Amino acid sequence: MSTVVRWLHVFGVLSYCLVLAVQPARAQTTYQFDLPSQQLADSLRAFGHQTSTSILFEPALVKGLTSASLKGSFTPDAALTELLAGTLLRYEFINDNTVAIHAAKTQERNSKKISTRDQS
């Protein structure tokens, strides 16, 4: 194996380890929220402002949706899960400072419908 290939391999492994080390930082950071029940778009903007996170969403996707109030200490993942509960929307961290809001995939929607039926 040439020296260049070895260095590329070492660099790749170190990069992967760095990515794994950075991910828990977001998961462990908590923020204090005191958001009222309001239009989902407003809640997402407030979340973004409070966590210094860019929130990307299509206005039509959240139009007419209301979020529950969010009060307490939450990680960003837990806060977004709470804000999007019952909306059939999901979030995806594109990087540490950017979140995209999407419609849930068809399979996710169907499994939510099935689990809702099972509970009745």
Strand ranges for the chain from DSSP E: 31-35, 38-39, 54-56, 66-67, 70-74, 89-95, 98-103
Q: Which of 6-10, 37-41, 86-90 has the lowest mean pLDDT?
A: 6-10
pLDDT average, residue stretch 24-46: 89
Counting residues of the chain whose pLDDT is more than 90, the rounded percentage is 62
Which pLDDT belongs to residue 28?
79
Q: Which of 86, 109, 90 is nearest to 37 (CA)?
A: 86
32 CB-near residues (< 8 Å, 6+ apart): 72, 73
The residue among 89 and 114 whose pLDDT is bigger is: 89
CA angle 64, 91, 55 (to 5 degrees): 75
- Domain extent listing, the chain: 30-118
Domain 30-118 sits in CATH at 3.55.50.30
Mean pLDDT along residues 17-35: 69
pLDDT band, residue 114 (cuts 50/70/90): very low
